[in-house]
């Protein structure tokens, strides 16, 4: 397959933004949806979205397999059109269970992107760390866009338009991708490109175990924060700012700032030993999460910005490990297996979020997350250390 054109690479990055945007529209608009559906508290409606996150993980396994054996281009077309159609179904939901069904279907199509889109993007990359960093920036700008766009649409046009507008964008991107992306001459499984760093099978199994376990704990932090931050800001800034559109803009600013961390981390991955850099970031998460647990008002906003910078900054590492240690012919399958386990388990955070906040509050939630960050650091410490000669040629 020829090198990707810039337009196709751009569409693959836009797809990452859409992937994360769609998964968080419900959490951002949940208060308005709960009110319309007759729920007294948003926390009681939140568990209905867990199906989306379960399928986001479980669906990664068949998506990765199909990406390698059938083709990544074809699977990306399924992604664009499937997730757009699912958003329209969510917009037409009339109660909690029809919403749950639509979100579960949406999560199924959302599962395609990470095991398929990222391997497609990096398959010809000279500096994969930098490419993953830009891709991570795009995904997190999608999170930032959710906060501001959903807040605006809910305020002025109602929560249903918050699903319809990105659904239209996704369908349009799918049409562009079908026209611009070159057809694959062979499925990835038939390629012969080797990993940047060769490891014996026993060590490769250890790396896979570490990336999967660290993905579970990192996913817990990611899901708990990105799904709960809107309500956290509303609670801690109550009396100072009560306009949902303004709160959405403030949260979008946090995400936009935090997204820049992935650009920096992506470039550092190409230049530094991966284990040392990864440990530095995850160890720094715990004190800031503990601070956010007790901070109020604008101090909470500052602490939250630091938390999200470090959580977003840790995201590129699992994809970087796959590029560094796994042959291109099986990257989608390896990514799919890893995501099925890690996201499938971490998706429970979405189910736990509402009941936990209702029972114990955000202070207990963030204190617990500080403990999870320390567990992540312990897991990452099991990564093999790399000798200077084992660094990729792009370093």
In the chain, the domains with their CATH numbers are 6-390 (1.20.1250.20)
pLDDT digits (tens, 9 = 90+) for 229-252: 888 888 888 888 878 778 888 888
Q: Can you tell me the distance from the alpha carbon of 337 to that of 57, in angstroms, rounded to the nearest whole number?
A: 9
Q: Can you tell me the distance from the alpha carbon of 319 to that of 384, in angstroms, rounded to the nearest whole number?
A: 16
Q: What backbone torsions phi and psi does residue 237 show, to the nearest 5 degrees?
A: -105, 10
Tokens standing for residue 359? 């029972």
Please say if the pLDDT value at position 388 is more than 80: no
pLDDT digits (tens, 9 = 90+) for 350-366: 777 878 888 888 899 99
Considering only residues 368 and 349, tell me which one the structure prediction assigns the higher pLDDT: 368
- Name all contacts of 234-237 with Cβ < 8 Å and 24+ positions apart: 234/31, 235/362, 236/295, 236/296, 236/297, 236/300, 236/301, 236/362, 237/297, 237/298, 237/300, 237/301
Tell me the pLDDT of the chain averaged across its residues: 86
pLDDT digits (tens, 9 = 90+) for 264-291: 998 898 888 889 999 999 999 999 999 9
Considering only residues 141 and 344, tell me which one the structure prediction assigns the higher pLDDT: 141
pLDDT digits (tens, 9 = 90+) for 280-332: 999 999 999 999 999 988 999 999 999 999 999 998 888 888 888 887 778 88
Tokens standing for residue 191? 């390629």
Mean pLDDT of 118-128: 83
Please say if the pLDDT value at position 1 is more than 60: no
Please say if the pLDDT value at position 90 is more than 90: yes
Q: Which residues of 18-57 are buried (b: 16+ CB within 10 A; e: fewer)?
A: bbbbbbbbbbbbbbbbbeebebeebbbbbbbbbbbbbbbb
Q: Can you tell me the distance from the alpha carbon of 206 to that of 8, in angstroms, rounded to the nearest whole number?
A: 34
Mean pLDDT of 164-181: 96
pLDDT band at 394 (very low <50, low <70, confident <90, very high): very low
């Amino acid at each position: 397959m020829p090198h990707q054109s810039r337009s196709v690479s751009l569409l693959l990055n836009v797809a990452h933004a859409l992937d994360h945007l769609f998964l968080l529209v419900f959490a951002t608009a949940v208060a308005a949806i709960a009110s319309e559906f007759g729920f007294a508290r948003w926390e009681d409606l939140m568990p209905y979205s867990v199906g989306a996150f379960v399928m986001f993980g479980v669906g990664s396994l068949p998506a990765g397999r199909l990406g390698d054996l059938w083709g990544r281009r074809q699977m990306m077309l399924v992604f664009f059109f499937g997730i757009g159609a699912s958003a329209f179904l969510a917009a037409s939901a009339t109660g909690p269970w029809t919403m749950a069904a639509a979100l579960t279907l949406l999560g199924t199509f959302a599962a395609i992107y990470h095991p398929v889109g990222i391997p497609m993007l990096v398959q010809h990359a000279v500096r994969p760390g930098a490419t993953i960093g830009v891709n991570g920036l795009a995904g997190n700008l999608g999170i930032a866009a959710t906060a501001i766009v959903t807040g605006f649409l809910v305020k002025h046009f109602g929560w249903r338009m918050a699903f319809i507008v990105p659904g239209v964008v996704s369908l349009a991107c799918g049409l562009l991708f079908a026209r611009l992306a070159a057809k694959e001459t062979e499925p990835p499984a038939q390629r012969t490109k080797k990993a940047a760093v060769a490891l014996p099978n026993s060590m490769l199994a250890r790396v896979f175990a570490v990336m999967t376990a660290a993905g579970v704990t990192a996913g817990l932090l990611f899901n708990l924060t990105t799904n709960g931050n809107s309500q956290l800001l509303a609670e801690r800034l109550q009396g100072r700012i009560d306009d949902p559109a303004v709160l959405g803009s403030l949260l979008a600013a946090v995400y936009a700032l935090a997204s820049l961390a992935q650009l920096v981390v992506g470039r550092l991955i190409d230049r530094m030993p991966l284990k040392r850099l990864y440990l530095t970031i995850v160890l720094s998460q715990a004190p800031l999460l503990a601070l956010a647990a007790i901070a109020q008002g604008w101090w909470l906003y500052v602490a939250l910005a630091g938390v999200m910078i470090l959580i977003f900054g840790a995201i590129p590492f699992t994809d970087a490990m796959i590029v560094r240690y796994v042959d291109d012919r099986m990257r989608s399958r390896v990514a799919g297996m890893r995501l099925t386990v890690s996201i499938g388990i971490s998706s429970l955070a979405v189910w736990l979020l509402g009941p936990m906040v209702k029972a114990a509050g955000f202070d207990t939630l963030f204190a617990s997350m500080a403990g999870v960050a320390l567990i992540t650091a312990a897991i990452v410490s099991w990564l093999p250390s790399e000798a200077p000669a084992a660094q990729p040629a792009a370093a």
